């Protein structure tokens, strides 16, 4: 037929399908990849196109291509078998491990309970002895503390009286010294203010004098000022 595939197209299609099936069955990563890496690698599927013959319902191969294809298939089957065996052994060992782990957990729980009970008993005994010791020491130190408080109170009263007497004299001296310092500052500021006022008044007077001198030169203005200042009868 005109639309039937050629021999070269059949070979390429067989190569592509074989490689995709092998990749899907064997896998290219993970455990399958590691298992396949340990197995002997078969010859690549690069046989000539003349070794393949396409029939109506079947594909005919020569011995060489058929042997290579079977080698790849056996490698994929071996990989799957090794993977299944490893999964089975893992399941068996996992079951054994879980059984032993549960037994170890039970033993550890029982032992820890015993240890904790013994520790709690020792802690109760230590706490009781600590309470008794604390009460005895507290009564002893309370008596000693009260005696020291009474002695310190008397001593503080005497010291405070002496300090109050000295403090009164010191306060008087400090007040006099501060008053003298404040007076010195006040008189200094007063002198500065008086000097500034004199300078300001001098400037104002000079300005008025200059204005009056200018007005004296203007006769008409003097006449108007005289008329303004003269009483009207």
- Per-residue model confidence as pLDDT tens digits over 165-197: 888 888 888 888 888 888 888 888 999 999 999
Question: How far apart are the two ends of the chain, measured CA to CA in Å?
Answer: 152
pLDDT tens, 81-116? 888 888 888 889 999 999 999 999 999 999 999 999
**What is the per-residue pLDDT for 160?**
87
- Count the neighbouring beta carbons within 10 Å of the beta carbon of residue 15: 18
Whether the pLDDT of residue 11 is over 80: the answer is no
- Residue 89: the pLDDT is 87
User: What length is written for the chain?
Assistant: 233
Q: How far apart are CA 202 and CA 198, in angstroms?
A: 6
Global pTM value:
0.33
Q: What share of the chain is helix, strand, coil (3-state, %, to 5)?
A: 85, 5, 10
Block residue for tokens 């002496």: 162
**Dihedral class, residue 30 (left if φ above 0, else alpha if ψ from -120 to 50, else beta):** left
User: Do residues 75 and 36 touch, judged by C-beta distance below 8 A?
Assistant: yes
Which residues sit opposite 60 in a β-bridge?
A: 53
The three-state secondary structure class of 232 is: coil
């Amino acid at each position: 037929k005109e639309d039937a595939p050629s021999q070269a197209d059949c070979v390429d299609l067989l190569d592509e399908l074989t490689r995709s099936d092998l990749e899907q069955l064997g896998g290219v990563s993970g455990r399958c990849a590691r298992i396949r890496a340990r197995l002997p690698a078969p010859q690549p599927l690069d046989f000539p196109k003349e070794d393949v013959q396409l029939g109506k319902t079947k594909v005919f191969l020569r011995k060489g291509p058929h042997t290579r294809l079977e080698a790849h298939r056996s490698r994929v089957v071996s990989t799957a078998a090794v993977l299944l065996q490893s999964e089975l052994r893992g399941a068996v060992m996992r079951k054994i491990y879980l059984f032993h782990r549960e037994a170890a957990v039970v033993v550890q729980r029982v032992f820890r309970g015993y240890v904790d009970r013994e520790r709690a008993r020792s802690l109760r005994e230590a706490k009781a002895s600590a309470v008794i010791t604390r009460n005895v020491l507290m009564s002893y130190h309370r008596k000693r503390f009260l005696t020291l408080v009474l002695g310190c109170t008397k001593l503080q009263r005497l010291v405070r009286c002496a300090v109050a007497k000295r403090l009164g004299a010191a306060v008087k001296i400090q007040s006099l010294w501060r008053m003298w310092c404040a007076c010195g500052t006040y008189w200094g500021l007063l002198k500065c203010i008086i000097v500034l006022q004199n300078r300001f008044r001098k400037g104002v007077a000079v300005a008025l004098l200059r204005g009056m001198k200018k007005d004296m030169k203007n006769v008409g203005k003097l006449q108007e000022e005289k008329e303004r200042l003269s009483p009207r009868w």
